[in-house]
Amino acid sequence: MLLETMTMPEKVLDKTKLVNVIILLYKNPNFTGFSKSFDIEICGKPMRSYVELAVNAYPTKTTVCTLGTNIFSLIRPMLTDSKLTLVLYSDTPLISSQTVEEIIDYALKNQITCQKLPRGFVFDTEHVLNAESLASEKTVYFGDEDFVEVFDLKQLEFVSSIQKTRILEKHQKNGVLIQDNLTTFIDFDAEIESGVVIQPLCVIKGQTKIGKNACIKSGSHLENALIGEGAVIEKSFVKNAEVKPFTHTKPFEIIEEEK
């Protein structure tokens, strides 16, 4: 009789129990007139929200800091019993969840004590609890754009353009025909089904949802709108309202409901 060799399934490492994240909400003095620079919107979402989305798989805390803040003293009371602590800043809204995973895998594999990132840190929590300061000999880089810092309003425009392109490309991969990327603006939270045609000079904001095979014609503005399947929006303004499937709006029509 042949004995079958049984292989035990590999243990899946639950990194959510090993990692705690602290996001520093940076109040940048270069943003004159904006008391909370981290809440300035990029493509319909506060800048900080993109960083929070990238780490939403992990327990996360936030705290406000300024240019002169002693980061070590600020975060030390916020440390937990997690193996690793990842510290990020709110002014790097291009960071992705994929890059976050790469950072954590690198830290676990290399058993780092304290590693400086282009903007932030990842460190062994127990080590830092007993250390007198954050110290790292070198910076390790991850991703091409993830740590691009929004340090003033000019840089905000640059980062916004990258985020805009990412959003448009996501919809194009999902089967949305965008006729002019330069003049089409779509917020991060908009949902657009396949087969939709978006002509030039359109703005799609907020929680807008557009059904299959709809056509959004040039000059239309949609904000928190629900556009049914096959509808044609003819240079219209739709806000907080629903356009039923296969409806054809009139040119310059305003459809708005009070919230």
Band of pLDDT at residue 259, cut at 50, 70 and 90: low
pLDDT digits (tens, 9 = 90+) for 203-243: 999 999 999 999 999 999 999 999 999 999 999 999 999 99
Note the pLDDT of residue 253: 95
Domain 15-153 has CATH 3.90.220.20: no
Helix (H) or strand (E) holding 23: strand 19-26
Q: What are phi and psi of 53, to 5 degrees?
A: -65, -40
Band of pLDDT at residue 8, cut at 50, 70 and 90: very low
User: Residues of CATH 3.90.550.10 domain(s) within the chain?
Assistant: 15-153
Phi-psi region for residue 230, left (φ > 0), alpha (ψ -120 to 50) or beta?
A: left
The answer to whether residue 11 scores a pLDDT higher than 90 is: no
User: Residues of CATH 2.160.10.10 domain(s) within the chain?
Assistant: 174-256
Model-level pTM?
Answer: 0.89
Inter-residue contact 89 to 48 (CB < 8 Å): no
Strands 114-117 and 184-186: unpaired
User: Partners of 23 in the beta sheet?
Assistant: 62, 88
pLDDT digits (tens, 9 = 90+) for 123-155: 999 988 888 777 776 899 998 899 999 999 999
Could you tell me which CATH class the domain 174-256 is placed in? mainly beta
pLDDT digits (tens, 9 = 90+) for 79-117: 999 999 999 999 999 999 999 999 999 999 999 999 999
Residues 52, 88: Cα–Cα separation, whole Å = 10
Instruction: For CA atoms 56, 58, 61, 67, give the dihedral sign.
Output: negative
Note the pLDDT of residue 129: 86
Nearest to 168 by CA among 156, 154, 179, 157: 179
Inter-residue contact 192 to 174 (CB < 8 Å): yes
